[in-house]
C-alpha cells in the first residue's frame, strides 16, 4: 500500500456545526482502499473524515499481504539454504528459530505501520475517528459519539475469514489469517482447510520452516487458475513434502489428543494434526453498519453496487472486499482511483476487471491476468493457446529453476485475452500482459519487444513468438525466401 506523502498546501478540514461534523467525504474503513481514497481526496482539496474501529492499515498490513509475504520470505531463505547443494555449495540443514521468525514478521509490520498511521493521516489533513461507525439515516453516520454528515460516504470495511459450517469446528481451536501470525512456536503438523491462494501460500511457508503440512481441499487446489500450471505446482509442493488431500469432503472436526485436532473426512478417514488453519474464503464486513437505515442494499457477498461503485443510495459508495467483487488489495486500490474520479470530479468512471491480475506467492509464483482458456471458450472467443515451458529459458537453466511455464490465451487475429505464468517472480512479469490486455494489443507487440538477456522476462517474448512459428518456418515461407534469393543480385 502506498500513498503520496506530499501534504496539501492548506487542507480543508471538516467543520463542526450544530454538533454535527460536516465533510465532503466520509470514508468508513482504513484498509488499503480507504487509506488510498482518503489520502488522495484530502490532497486534492476535499475535506475528509476517516473512521476506523480497529487497526489502521486493515487486513493487508496487519493480518494479510504484509505478514504473509514476510513469513514466505523466511521460508524461502530456509529453502534456498537447502537447495544450495545444486550449485556445489554445501550448507547444513537450516535451524529455524520460530520465535525470531515471528519477530521478523512483526518487525516488517511495524516498519510499514507509520505510513498507515493516524498521525500521518491527521497530518495530511484528514479527521480520523477511531471508533465503530453506523448509519443513522441516508446522509448521516455516527461514530465515537460524533455525528458526521458528508456529501458522499464510502464503505471500505473489508472482509474477514469465512468459517464454514462444519460440525465440531466451533468447539475446536483453530487459526485463521487473523491469528496465525501470532504464533511464536512452530506447529508440528499444520492442517490447512482450503487449497486457495491463502491456503497454498501458508502451506508452503510452514513446510519451508519445518512443519509437517497437510492441505485438505474439497475440489482441486487453486481451482481458478490454469490446470497446466496448477499441475506443475502440485508436483512441486508434493516434492517439498506438502501432503495434498484433494476432492475431500470434511464430515467433522474435533479436538485430538493433547492440544491437537482431528479432521474426519466423508469416507471415514481421520487426519490428525497439531494445529488447524481455516482458509476457506472470506466474508464482507457489514455487521453493525446499519446500512438498511441508509437505504443501502446488500447480499451475502457485500454491498450491491453498480459499475461506478454506487450503492442503491447514490450518496453511498463501496470499495474493496465489501463491494462484492474480486477480493484483492490491488483491487481496493484500483477502486480508490475510480472513486476519486466519480466523487471528486463528477466523472462517470466505471470499474473494468478485464485486465485483473492475481498472484499466488508460492515458489515459484503463479500469476494470472485476463481470461483463462476455459473462460475464453465459454465466452465463445476463437481461442488459440500458446504454451512455453520455463525449461527453455536460459536464466532459469542457470538458476536451476526450470519448473514452470507461460500460457497465453489469444482471440481472433492474435488479440491477447489472458496470460498465466508459473515462474520465480512471475508476479513481476505478469504486468506486461495486463498492460497488453488493457491496451487491446495483439501478440505481435510482445513478440517484437526487445527483452534483456538472460532474464526470466524472455519467457514472455518467446511465448509470444510461438504465435508466428508455424508460418515463419513453413514450406511456403521457404519457397518465398528461395524465390527472393534468386531475384536478389
Q: Is residue 450 part of a domain?
A: yes
Residues 441 and 373 in one domain: yes
Task: For residue 307, give the DSSP letter.
Answer: T
Q: How far apart are CA 416 and CA 108, in angstroms?
A: 38
Question: Does 356 have pLDDT greater than 90?
Answer: yes
State how many domains the chain has.
Answer: 3
pLDDT the model gives residue 477: 87
pLDDT given for residue 55 in this prediction: 95
Strand ranges of the sheet holding 384-389, from the earlier edge strand across to the other edge: 357-360, 365-370, 416-423, 405-410, 384-389
Query: What is the distance, to the nearest Å, from the Cα of residue 287 to the centroid of all Cα atoms in its chain?
Result: 24
Asked if 322 and 456 sit in the same domain, the reply is no
| 21 and 150 inside one domain | yes
Do 149 and 290 belong to one domain?
Answer: yes
Over residues 336-353, the pLDDT tens digits come to: 999 999 999 999 999 999
Rounded Cα distance between 222 and 246, Å, is: 11
pLDDT tens column, 434-446: 999 999 999 999 9
| Model pLDDT, residue 3 | 55
Position 23 scores a pLDDT of: 97
Q: Which three cell numbers stand for residue 35?
A: 487509506
Q: Residue 68 contacts by C-beta under 8 Å, 6 or more apart in sequence?
A: 177, 181, 198, 201, 202, 205, 361
According to DSSP, the residues that pair with 141 across neighbouring strands are 135, 148
Omega before 454 within 30 of 0, i.e. cis: yes
DSSP H helices, 44-126, are 58-62, 65-82, 98-112, 118-124
- State whether 307 and 426 are in the same domain: no
pLDDT in tens, 215-234: 999 999 999 999 999 999 99
pLDDT score of 78: 97
Number of H helices, E strands in the chain: 15, 24
Q: CB of 69 within 8 A of CB of 181?
A: no
| 331 plus 372 within the same structural domain | no
Please report, rounded to a whole number, the percentage of residues in the chain having pLDDT higher than 90: 94
Per the omega criterion (within 30 degrees of 0), is the bond before 269 cis? no
Express each pLDDT in 75-100 by its tens digit: 999 999 999 999 999 999 999 999 99
Structural domain containing residue 361: 357-472
Decide if 109 is inside a domain.
Answer: no
Statement to judge: residues 297 and 156 lie in one domain = yes
Which grid coordinates belong to 122? 491527521
In a domain, 70, yes or no: no
Q: What is the CATH number of the domain that holds 445?
A: 3.30.390.30
Say how far apart CA 396 and CA 456 lie, in whole Å. Answer: 7
Q: How far is CA 34 from CA 28, 159, 205, 246, 374, in A?
A: 7, 13, 29, 37, 34
String of DSSP letters for 187-207: -SEEEEE--SHHHHHHHHHHH
In a domain, 488, yes or no: no
The reply to whether 480 falls in a domain is no
**232 falls within a domain:** yes
Verify that 157 and 136 share a domain, yes or no: yes
Q: Distance of CA 421 to CAs 220, 358, 368, 378, 399, Å?
A: 19, 11, 6, 21, 17
User: Residue 441 domain-assigned?
Assistant: yes
Same domain, 298 and 375: no
Query: In terms of domains, do 202 and 319 share one?
Result: no
Q: Check residue 362 and give its pLDDT.
A: 96
Reported as a single tens digit per residue, the pLDDT across 117-149 is 999 999 999 999 999 999 999 999 999 999 999
Look at strands 302-303 and 140-143 and give their pairing.
unpaired
Bridge partners (DSSP) of residue 163 are none
308 with 396, same domain?
Answer: no
Give the CATH number, domain containing residue 231: 3.50.50.60
Confirm if 451 and 380 have CB atoms less than 8 A apart: no
- Of the residues 280, 308, 323, the one at which a domain ends: 280
Residue 103 maps to a domain: no
Domain edge (last residue) among 280, 303, 332? 280
Q: pLDDT class for 7, splitting at 50, 70, 90? A: low
User: pLDDT tens, 404-456?
Assistant: 999 999 998 899 999 999 999 999 999 999 999 999 999 999 999 999 999 99
Nearest to 373 by CA among 225, 206, 199: 225
Each residue's pLDDT tens digit, 270-327: 999 999 999 999 999 999 999 999 999 999 999 999 999 999 999 999 999 999 999 9
Single residue among 280, 303, 333 that ends a domain in this structure = 280
Give the separation between CA 121 and CA 114, rounded to whole angstroms: 10
User: Which residues are CB-neighbours of 117 under 8 A, at least 6 positions away?
Assistant: 56
Are residues 149 and 297 located together in one domain of the fold?
Answer: yes
Amino acid at each position: 500500500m502506498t500513498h503520496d506523502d506530499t501534504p496539501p498546501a492548506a487542507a480543508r478540514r471538516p467543520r463542526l456545526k450544530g454538533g454535527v461534523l460536516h465533510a465532503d467525504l466520509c470514508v468508513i474503513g482504513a484498509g488499503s482502499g480507504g487509506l488510498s481514497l482518503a489520502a488522495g481526496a484530502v490532497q486534492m482539496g476535499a475535506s475528509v473524515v476517516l473512521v476506523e474501529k480497529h487497526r489502521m492499515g486493515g487486513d493487508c498490513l496487519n493480518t494479510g499481504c504484509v505478514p504473509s509475504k514476510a513469513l514466505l520470505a523466511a521460508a524461502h531463505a530456509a529453502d534456498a539454504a537447502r537447495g544450495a547443494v545444486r550449485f556445489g555449495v554445501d550448507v547444513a540443514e537450516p535451524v529455524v528459530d520460530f520465535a525470531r521468525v515471528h519477530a521478523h514478521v512483526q518487525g516488517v509490520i511495524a516498519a510499514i505501520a507509520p505510513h498507515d498511521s493516524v498521525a500521518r493521516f491527521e497530518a495530511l489533513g484528514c479527521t480520523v475517528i477511531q471508533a465503530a461507525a453506523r448509519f443513522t439515516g441516508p446522509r448521516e453516520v455516527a461514530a465515537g459519539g460524533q455525528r458526521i454528515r458528508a456529501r458522499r460516504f464510502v464503505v471500505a470495511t473489508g472482509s474477514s475469514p469465512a468459517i464454514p459450517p462444519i460440525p465440531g469446528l466451533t468447539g475446536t481451536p483453530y487459526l485463521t489469517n487473523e491469528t496465525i501470525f501470532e504464533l511464536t512456536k512452530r506447529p508440528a503438523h499444520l492442517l490447512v482447510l482450503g487449497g486457495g491462494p491463502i491456503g497454498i501460500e501458508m502451506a508452503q511457508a510452514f513446510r519451508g520452516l519445518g512443519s509437517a503440512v497437510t492441505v485438505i481441499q474439497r475440489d482441486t487446489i487453486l481451482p481458478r487458475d490454469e490446470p497446466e500450471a496448477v499441475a506443475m505446482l502440485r508436483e512441486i509442493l508434493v516434492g517439498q513434502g506438502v501432503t495434498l488431500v484433494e476432492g475431500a469432503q470434511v464430515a467433522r472436526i474435533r479436538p485430538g489428543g493433547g492440544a491437537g485436532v482431528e479432521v474426519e473426512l466423508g469416507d471415514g478417514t481421520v487426519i490428525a494434526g497439531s494445529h488447524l488453519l481455516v482458509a476457506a474464503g472470506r466474508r464482507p464486513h457489514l455487521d453493525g453498519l446499519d446500512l438498511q437505515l441508509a437505504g443501502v442494499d446488500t447480499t451475502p457477498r457485500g454491498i450491491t453496487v453498480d459499475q461506478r461503485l454506487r450503492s442503491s443510495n447514490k450518496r453511498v459508495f463501496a470499495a474493496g472486499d465489501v463491494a462484492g467483487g474480486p477480493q484483492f488489495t490491488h483491487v481496493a486500490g484500483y477502486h480508490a482511483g475510480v472513486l476519486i474520479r466519480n466523487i471528486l470530479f463528477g466523472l462517470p468512471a466505471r470499474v473494468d476487471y478485464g485486465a485483473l491480475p492475481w498472484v499466488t506467492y508460492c515458489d515459484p509464483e503463479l500469476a494470472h491476468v485476463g481470461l483463462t482458456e476455459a473462460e475464453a471458450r465459454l465466452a465463445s472467443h476463437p481461442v488459440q493457446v500458446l504454451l512455453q515451458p520455463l525449461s527453455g529459458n536460459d536464466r532459469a537453466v542457470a538458476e536451476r529453476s526450470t519448473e514452470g511455464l507461460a500460457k497465453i490465451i489469444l482471440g481472433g487475429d492474435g488479440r491477447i485475452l489472458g496470460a498465466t505464468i508459473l515462474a520465480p517472480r512471475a508476479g513481476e512479469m505478469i504486468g506486461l500482459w495486463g498492460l497488453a490486455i488493457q491496451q487491446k494489443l495483439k501478440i505481435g507487440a510482445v513478440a517484437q519487444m526487445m527483452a534483456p538477456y538472460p532474464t526470466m522476462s524472455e519467457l514472455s517474448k518467446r511465448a509470444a513468438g510461438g504465435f508466428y512459428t508455424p508460418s515463419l518456418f513453413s514450406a511456403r515461407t521457404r519457397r518465398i525466401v528461395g524465390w527472393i534469393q534468386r531475384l536478389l543480385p
